[in-house]
């Protein structure tokens, strides 16, 4: 048990006095009762069992304090946020000297005073940490500092308000304490990337599950934090809630999509043979996308692309579209223009995914035998490769003006024969699995296709 120092006048002023051994063993050698009181330890034995760095919320502050002592042999009016025995935060000001006592013995002796975080301490001094905190608290975005182990060391008011303003619920915690594991892993990986590379991550858009169970869309920037020696000591992040903006964007593009859907319906009225084609292709791509475990936004993008993929046929003469029998080369070349027609129609409309390109490439084939550009393999968007398989599957199992339905057996044969040559193997495998699961029958027909913006 360390020696307790008792000086009445200092106890009344609540000035903590301590002697702390750094080497050969880290421990408090002596301290006065005011020291334990400042850190809210009613039991001085429990306080004695603490190591000094454990009292610091931000390990970077402890490192800075040590660095200052090592360099100047003393640290005057050093301020830091500490965690008390009752898990609340206390701001303290430490003045200490470093002592070398020979034979590797090293210790710190000094005094500790409690100050409040608004700058009205026992001794009124200009305190930069509080100025920084005041600035941080005035910003209506979530701002947070983390150490190298991704533990939160400081937050601003906006962040703290999300937890009822209770810092003890936040400080020292990691994202795993607040967010679902998968989401926390992504955040953890971003923090580690910043620490490892020293490069910031700027303006990353992500969806976040809030502690109250609602989702929001946020934009986050994370930057590395350096100490005076240029060593990375952690990260600082700024997260802005973009949910209202995202909702507006969503409404805007939902309106545009509705207008395009009307065009799609107009095409269906014009060409009854393809009346259910687009919607059935939509159901097929949706099933494939879910089976491929694509995220929700991707599934939605694919469904929309499927609904609109043949919209370009609106620019093709009807007598060609519904012509029974074989098409001439010229007629076929006109049909092939539907991908370019659609691309030109929608390419200038902004969507949060490359809708125009997905549609543009839905007749491209892995070996370059497709159209309009004959692009090959992985150069074809994955969404377009999915759409291509779904399109062929639906088309072969439905009647066309120039032929009767070829049936699902023929479609399976076509997909198997083209797998890895003209169609993506993984997508074909997933599609065949879906058919098998439906006892060899089409898994999309008679299903009402629902599109939700």
Chain contacts with Fe ion (rule: CB under 5 A): 310, 391
CA distance to 30, 31, 84, 238, per residue, from 42 (Å): 16, 14, 11, 38
In the numeric block, the tokens 């710190």 are attached to 108
Q: Is the distance from CB of 415 to CB of 431 less than 8 angstroms?
A: yes
Q: Which is nearer to Fe ion, 305 or 435 (CB)?
A: 305
Question: Minimum distance from CB of 159 to Fe ion (Å)?
Answer: 49
Question: Minimum distance from CB of 180 to Fe ion (Å)?
Answer: 38
Report the SS3 class of residue 109: strand
In the numeric block, the tokens 């060391």 are attached to 153
Q: Which is nearer to Fe ion, 191 or 391 (CB)?
A: 391
As a whole number of angstroms, the distance between CA 221 and CA 14 comes to: 41
Q: Is the distance from CB of 104 to CB of 24 less than 8 angstroms?
A: yes
For residue 180, with 0-12 CB atoms within 10 Å meaning exposed, 13-18 middle and 19 or more buried, which class applies?
A: exposed
Q: Which is nearer to Fe ion, 340 or 438 (CB)?
A: 340
Q: Is the distance from CB of 232 to CB of 195 less than 8 angstroms?
A: yes
Question: Minimum distance from CB of 347 to Fe ion (Å)?
Answer: 17
Q: Which is nearer to Fe ion, 90 or 311 (CB)?
A: 311
Q: Which is nearer to Fe ion, 121 or 312 (CB)?
A: 312
Question: Minimum distance from CB of 383 to Fe ion (Å)?
Answer: 14
DSSP code, position 200 = -
Q: Is the distance from CB of 366 to CB of 379 less than 8 angstroms?
A: no
Q: Is the distance from CB of 80 to CB of 113 less than 8 angstroms?
A: no
Q: Is the distance from CB of 363 to CB of 374 less than 8 angstroms?
A: no
SS3 of 247-278: the string is HHHHHHHHHHHHHHHHHHHHHHHHCHHHCCHH
Q: Which is nearer to Fe ion, 155 or 396 (CB)?
A: 396
As a whole number of angstroms, the distance between CA 268 and CA 387 comes to: 19
As a whole number of angstroms, the distance between CA 302 and CA 282 comes to: 7
Question: Minimum distance from CB of 283 to Fe ion (Å)?
Answer: 13
Question: Minimum distance from CB of 362 to Fe ion (Å)?
Answer: 6
Question: Minimum distance from CB of 371 to Fe ion (Å)?
Answer: 10
Report the SS3 class of residue 232: strand
As a whole number of angstroms, the distance between CA 66 and CA 94 comes to: 12
Q: Which is nearer to Fe ion, 168 or 337 (CB)?
A: 337
Question: Minimum distance from CB of 452 to Fe ion (Å)?
Answer: 22
Q: Which is nearer to Fe ion, 271 or 391 (CB)?
A: 391
Of the candidates 277, 308, 313, 225, the one whose C-alpha atom is nearest the C-alpha of residue 399 is 277
Q: Which is nearer to Fe ion, 162 or 372 (CB)?
A: 372
Tokens of 43: 């039991």
Question: Minimum distance from CB of 411 to Fe ion (Å)?
Answer: 14
Question: Minimum distance from CB of 431 to Fe ion (Å)?
Answer: 15
Q: Which is nearer to Fe ion, 176 or 371 (CB)?
A: 371
Q: Which is nearer to Fe ion, 83 or 389 (CB)?
A: 389
As a whole number of angstroms, the distance between CA 244 and CA 161 comes to: 19
Question: Minimum distance from CB of 277 to Fe ion (Å)?
Answer: 6
As a whole number of angstroms, the distance between CA 222 and CA 162 comes to: 19
Question: Minimum distance from CB of 274 to Fe ion (Å)?
Answer: 7
Q: Which is nearer to Fe ion, 94 or 358 (CB)?
A: 358
For residue 97, with 0-12 CB atoms within 10 Å meaning exposed, 13-18 middle and 19 or more buried, which class applies?
A: middle
As a whole number of angstroms, the distance between CA 206 and CA 243 comes to: 10
Q: CA 299: distance to chain centroid?
A: 18
């Amino acid at each position: 048990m360390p020696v307790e120092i008792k000086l009445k006048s200092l106890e009344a002023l609540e000035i903590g006095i301590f002697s702390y051994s750094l080497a050969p063993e880290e421990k408090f050698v002596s301290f006065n009762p005011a020291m334990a009181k400042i850190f809210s330890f009613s039991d001085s034995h429990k306080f004695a069992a603490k190591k000094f760095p454990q009292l610091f919320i931000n390990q970077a502050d402890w490192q800075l304090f040590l660095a200052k002592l090592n360099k100047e042999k003393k640290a005057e009016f050093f301020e830091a946020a500490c965690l008390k025995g009752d898990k609340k935060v206390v701001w303290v000001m430490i003045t200490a000297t470093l002592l070398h006592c020979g034979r590797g013995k090293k210790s710190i002796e000094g005094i500790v005073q409690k100050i409040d975080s608004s700058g009205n301490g026992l001794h009124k001094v200009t305190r930069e940490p509080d100025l920084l905190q005041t600035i941080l608290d005035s910003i209506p975005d979530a701002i947070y500092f983390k150490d190298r182990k991704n533990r939160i060391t400081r937050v601003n008011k906006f962040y703290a308000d999300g937890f009822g303003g209770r810092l003890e619920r936040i400080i020292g915690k990691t994202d795993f304490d607040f967010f679902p594991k998968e989401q926390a892993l992504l955040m953890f990986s971003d923090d580690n990337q910043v620490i490892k590379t020293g490069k910031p991550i700027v303006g990353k858009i992500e969806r976040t599950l809030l502690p109250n169970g609602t989702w929001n869309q946020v934009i986050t920037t994370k930057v590395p934090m350096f100490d005076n020696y240029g060593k990375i000591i952690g990260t600082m992040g700024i997260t802005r809630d973009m949910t209202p903006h995202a909702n507006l964007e969503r409404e805007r593009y939902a309106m545009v999509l509705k207008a395009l859907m009307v065009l799609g319906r107009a095409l269906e009225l014009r060409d009854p043979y393809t009346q259910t084609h687009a919607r059935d292709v939509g159901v097929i791509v949706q099933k494939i996308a879910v089976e491929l475990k694509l995220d929700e936004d991707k599934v939605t993008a694919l469904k929309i692309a499927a609904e609109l993929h043949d919209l370009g046929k609106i620019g093709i003469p009807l007598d060609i579209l519904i012509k029974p029998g074989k098409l001439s080369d010229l007629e076929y070349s006109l049909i092939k223009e539907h991908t370019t027609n659609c691309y030109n129609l929608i390419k200038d409309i902004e969507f949060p995914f490359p809708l125009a390109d997905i549609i543009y490439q839905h007749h491209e084939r892995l070996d370059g035998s497709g159209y309009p550009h004959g692009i090959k393999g992985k150069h074809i968007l994955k969404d377009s490769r999915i759409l291509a398989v779904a399109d062929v599957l639906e088309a072969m199992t439905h009647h066309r003006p120039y032929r009767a339905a070829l049936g699902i057996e023929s479609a399976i044969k076509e997909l198997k024969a083209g797998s890895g040559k003209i169609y993506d193997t993984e997508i074909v495998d997933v599609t065949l699995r879906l058919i098998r699961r439906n006892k060899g029958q089409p898994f999309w027909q008679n299903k009402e296709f629902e599109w939700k913006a």
